[in-house]
Every structure is written in structure tokens, then in C-alpha cells.
Structure 1
């Protein structure tokens, strides 16, 4: 189990626990339960990379303690 920190750049940081084998869509669903927003309105980025829903966290080399940027569409 890994813990990822999502920063919405408005002062809110959310810690999410998940498995490295989870897809980005699974991660968004867990995150949406914590923040109360629909998962399809969440966009996750790291730098200029926008993460696609069907790829796993392992494939994107997202590991424990990593920070992701959280945007809303």
C-alpha cells in the first residue's frame, strides 16, 4: 500500500492510500470519495504530463510519498 499526496493548489492537500497496481481511474474514484467531487471532473498532473485513466500507477512510476497536482474540469 502506498500513500500519494494530491495538491489542489488552493491550499488543500489530500493524502490517498492505494495500491501501485490501481489504475488512475481507480485512484480518482478513491480521491473523489475523500473530496466530494465526481471522479470524472478530476484531472491529475505531474509537471506537464496529464495522467490517462486506463494506465496503472506503477506504469507511471508513481510511488509512495509522491505529490500530484489536482485540477478540476
Structure 2
């Protein structure tokens, strides 16, 4: 298990535990349960890279302690 965090830069910083084999879409679903926003309205970014739903965390080389930027689309 790894722990990643998502910061929406409006005061919310959410930490979630997930597997490295989970997809970005799975991570969005976990985040949506905690913040109360539909998962299809969540956009995860880091710098200029937008993470696609069907690709796994391991394929993106996301490790324990990774920080996402959380946007609402």
C-alpha cells in the first residue's frame, strides 16, 4: 500500500491509501468519497501533466508520499 495526497490549493489536502496497481480512475473514486464531489469532475495534475483515468499508478511511477494537484472540471 502507498499513501498519496491531493491538494486543491483551496485549503483541502486529502491523504488516501491505495495500491500501486490501482488506476488513476480508482484513485479518483476514493477521493470523491472523501470530498463529496463526483469522481468524473475531478482532475489530477502535477505541473502540466494531466493524469489519465485508465493508466495505473505504477505505470506513472507514483510512489509513497506523492502529491497531486486536485482540480475540479
What does the per-residue CA deviation read over 1:39-70, in whole Å, with 9 as the maximum and x for residues that have no partner?
A: 00000001100000000000111110010000
Residue 33 of structure 1 is matched in structure 2 by 33
| TM-score, normalised by the number of residues in structure 1 | 0.98
- What is the total number of aligned residue pairs between the two structures? 73
Mapping of residues 1-73 of structure 1, within 5 Å: 1-73=1-73
Aligned partner of residue 32 in structure 2, secondary structure? helix
Give 1:12 deviation, angstroms: 1.0
| TM-score, normalised by the number of residues in structure 2 | 0.98
Structure 2: distance between partners of 1:33 and 1:66: 20
Structure 2: distance between partners of 1:26 and 1:12: 20
Structure 1 segments (4+ residues) deviating >6 Å: none
